Amino acid sequence: KNEVEQSPQNLTAQEGEFITINCSYSVGISALHWLQQHPGGGIVSLFMLSSGKKKHGRLIATINIQEKHSSLHITASHPRDSAVYICAVKGAQKLVFGQGTRLTINP
Amino acid sequence: NAGVMQNPRHLVRRRGQEARLRCSPMKGHSHVYWYRQLPEEGLKFMVYLQKENIIDESGMPKERFSAEFPKEGPSILRIQQVVRGDSAAYFCASSPVAGTTDTQYFGPGTRLTVL
């Protein structure tokens, strides 16, 4: 079993839909990151969380430390949100990554 | 303030050659991390360096791979005698300090293809 599990692996939705991507982890962490990787391959850091909730534009990330679970939400999704979303947890120093969720938003 | 820079962006090598991948961290960042993304797989940690020191190399293959981050100049990931299985995207990231809650900023990656 991987230390970081994401679900779903693939998600296709229509423009405007509310999107939720889940991340569960089995190790103790100091922080959790949500990353976005576009088809061109570049990686952008969206959020870093150690507790609670963060919001940036249409993106919301939450984390429940007791349940070892985090969610990434996208409101009013748009085709430009199509990308791979990656959850990564940080212990002492290094990041451990989930396999990613491939999101496709159709117009 | 330029972001993390990596070069080359694409690198083609024949089996047995050497590959050198460079990473210039963001200005003011003294911590560098290297990650590898094999085709159709997730990202995997390789090595964490500070200036002139390797802090954690637990993700580095035992042979042919080495990394450095000299006092001056970029961090270098070196792969000797490349094999087809080394074909992957190699990303570096940097952070200003080693605090457990510091964001890492990723470079655009180097895509290595071994023929």
Residue type, B98: A
Q: What is the 3-state secondary structure (H, E, C) of A31-76?
A: EEEEEEECCCCCEEEEEEECCEEEEECCEEEEEECCCCEEEEEECC
Q: Cβ contact (<8 Å) for B103 and A48?
A: yes
Q: What is the mean pLDDT of chain B?
A: 92
Identify the pLDDT of residue A27: 83
pLDDT at A39: 79
Nearest-Cα distance to chain A for B56, in Å, is 8
Q: Closest approach of chain B CAs to the CA of A16, in angstroms?
A: 28
Nearest to B109 among A41, A94, A98 (CB): A41
**Which chain B residues are within 8 Å of A86, Cβ to Cβ?**
42-43
**How confident is the model over A47-96, as pLDDT tens digits?**
999 899 999 999 999 999 999 999 999 999 999 999 999 999 987 778 89
Of A103 and B40, the one with more pLDDT: A103
Token pair, residue A68, equals 């070892």
Tokens found for residue B28: 């003011």
C-beta atoms of A50 and B104 within 8 A: no
pLDDT score for A62: 97
Spell out which residues of chain A touch residue B42, defining contact as CB-CB under 8 Å.
86, 97-100
Please determine, for residue B102, whether its predicted confidence score (pLDDT) is greater than 80.
no
